[in-house]
Amino acid sequence: MTDRHNEILHFSKNWQQQLAEAFNKIDDLCDYLNLSPDDLPISLAALEDFALRVPLSFAASMEKGNPHDPLLRQVLPVKEEVQIYPGFSIDPVGDIQAVAQAGVLHKYQGRVLFINTGSCAINCRYCFRRNFPYAELQLTKQKEAAAIQYIREDSSVAEVILSGGDPLLLNDARLAHLIQQLSDIRHLKRIRIHSRLPVVLPARITDELIDILSQSPVQIVVVIHCNHANEINKRVIPACKSLKENGLILFNQSVLLKGVNDNAAVLCDLSEKLFSHGIIPYYLHLLDKASGTGHFEVAETEALKLIRQIQDTLPGYLVPKLVKEQAGAASKQYLFRPA
Ligand SMILES: *Cc1c(COP(=O)(O)O)cnc(C)c1O
Ligand code: SF4
């Protein structure tokens, strides 16, 4: 069968099957992209450290034959990952310190983050999750009750952020139950869902999921994660449209990544494309300095220069807030354009 036929068949399957068929072998991904593994700076040590995982929907947006494709760069295990970069560590943002109890991160006033699952549909090489002891921390079904009790007992908590890993990897029943339980807490104003699935596995946005989210008694905010306009393909667009049309508020967060989006034109394109599909640019994060990610770093001075160029080009509401995470700080740290 041709690639084209394989793709049609693949995309006709449900999201769990599509996830099960995600690329997990370098050779298969290279074959699909018409690249030779020998022409890429692949590291087997890096691969062993953090597995390859790429859904076909995401890989399908990569340019065939381009070893420098900005989407490929986000997922390819490369030699630079095993180099030592000064200042990069296992827990750069102090998350381990902020664990209030299993599965619950309480770092900021009024907001609590739930680590619902340790897994994601895609393994992003730049992610601090690669070093995080998620298996121990994630909210199992048993621990979930205790986490909900924690929210119930702290009336200062106005918002619960479902995160991970990727919370939309929970099945519908589990998600519906969680939202139901949280909705019963009187002081809770919002549930926020941080998910990369609308972008990397849009098949997850089923009618059933939309029903669960749109029928929630508390307001739901969805923050997607997209770093480059090419990620917004013909499957992502209807998934976002469906969320949007059913009353969900959509924001996007990106990470500023060398060789992926460290360019004003690329970032402007991303903002424009997001907005044309009803998604508001929220944050542009500086890289968290997690071991294995040093080759993605963009210097702060360079980041500020890029933001200034975007500010000089786009309306203010299309300029994402440039932020960095600082261990122990009371909020994300905003980086401002120097006067
Ligand atoms: C980023 C983050 C939040 C949310 O911060 P906002 O600025 O409200 O988007 C909450 N908790 C933790 C632990 C976070 O890392
Ligand atoms: S948490 Fe987000 S950035 Fe990290 S691997 Fe999962 S999808 Fe990628």
* pLDDT averaged over 10-residue windows placed end to end, the chain, 339 residues: 85 98 98 96 96 98 98 98 93 83 92 93 93 78 92 98 95 97 98 98 98 97 98 98 97 98 98 98 97 97 96 97 93 81
* SS3 state at 207: helix
Residue 248 domain-assigned? Answer: yes
Q: At 104, phi and psi to the nearest 5?
A: -125, 120
- What lines the ligand 2 site, CB under 6 Å? 120, 122-124, 127, 129, 166, 196, 225
Q: Are residues 72 and 109 in the same domain?
A: no
pLDDT at 339: 53
- Residue 24, classed as helix, strand or coil, is coil
Distance, CA 209 to ligand 1 centroid (Å)? 24
332 lines ligand 1 (CB under 6 A): yes
CATH number at 139 reads 3.20.20.70
pLDDT of residue 3: 80
Domain boundary among 35, 51, 82: 82
Flag whether 128 is in a domain: yes
Q: Does 108 contact ligand 1 (Cβ within 6 A)? A: yes
Do residues 224 and 294 both lie within one domain?
yes
Place of tokens 């924001």: 251
Question: Which mutation among 108, 129, 191, 225 tests ligand 1's pocket best, with the greatest number of atoms within 8 A of CB?
Answer: 108
Round to whole Å and give the CA distance between 12 and 29.
Answer: 20
The structural domain count of the chain equals: 2
The closest-lying atom of ligand 2 relative to the alpha carbon of residue 255 is: 3
Measured from the CB, is residue 129 less than 6 Å from ligand 1? Answer: no
pLDDT one-digit tens code per residue, 208-218: 999 999 999 99
70 and 16 fall within a common domain: yes
- Write out the H or E segment, with its range, that includes residue 245: helix 236-245
Contact at 8 Å (CB) between 137 and 103?
A: yes
Cα–Cα dist 279/272, whole Å: 9
Residues making up the annotated binding site for [4Fe-4S] cluster are 120, 124, 127
Closest C-alpha residue for ligand 2 atom 2: 196
Residue carrying structure tokens 């664990």: 99
In a domain, 89, yes or no: no
Considering the domain architecture, whether residues 161 and 286 belong to the same structural domain is answered as yes
Q: What is the pLDDT of residue 338?
A: 59
**Whole-prediction pTM:** 0.97
Q: What is the span of the domain harbouring residue 225? A: 96-336
Whose CA is closest to atom 8 on ligand 2? Answer: 124
Going by alpha carbons, the residue nearest to atom 1 of ligand 1 is 332
Q: 104-108 and 249-255 as β-strands: parallel, antiparallel, unpaired? A: unpaired
Instruction: Report the alpha-carbon distance of residue 126 to residue 74 in Å, rounded.
Output: 7
Q: What mean pLDDT, rounded, does the chain reach?
A: 95
| Cis ω before 110 (30° cut-off from 0) | no
Q: What angle do CA 121, 127, 128 make, to 5 degrees?
A: 125
Ligand 1 atom with the shortest distance to the CA of 107: 13
Same domain, 189 and 280: yes
From 274, 273, 261, 275, select the one nearest 303 (Cα to Cα).
261
Ligand lying closest to the C-alpha of residue 113: 1
- Structural domain includes residue 229: yes
Quick one: which of 215, 290, 205, 213 has its CA closest to 255? 290
Question: What is d(CA 16, CA 336) in angstroms, rounded to the nearest whole number?
Answer: 42
Which amino acid, 312?
A: D
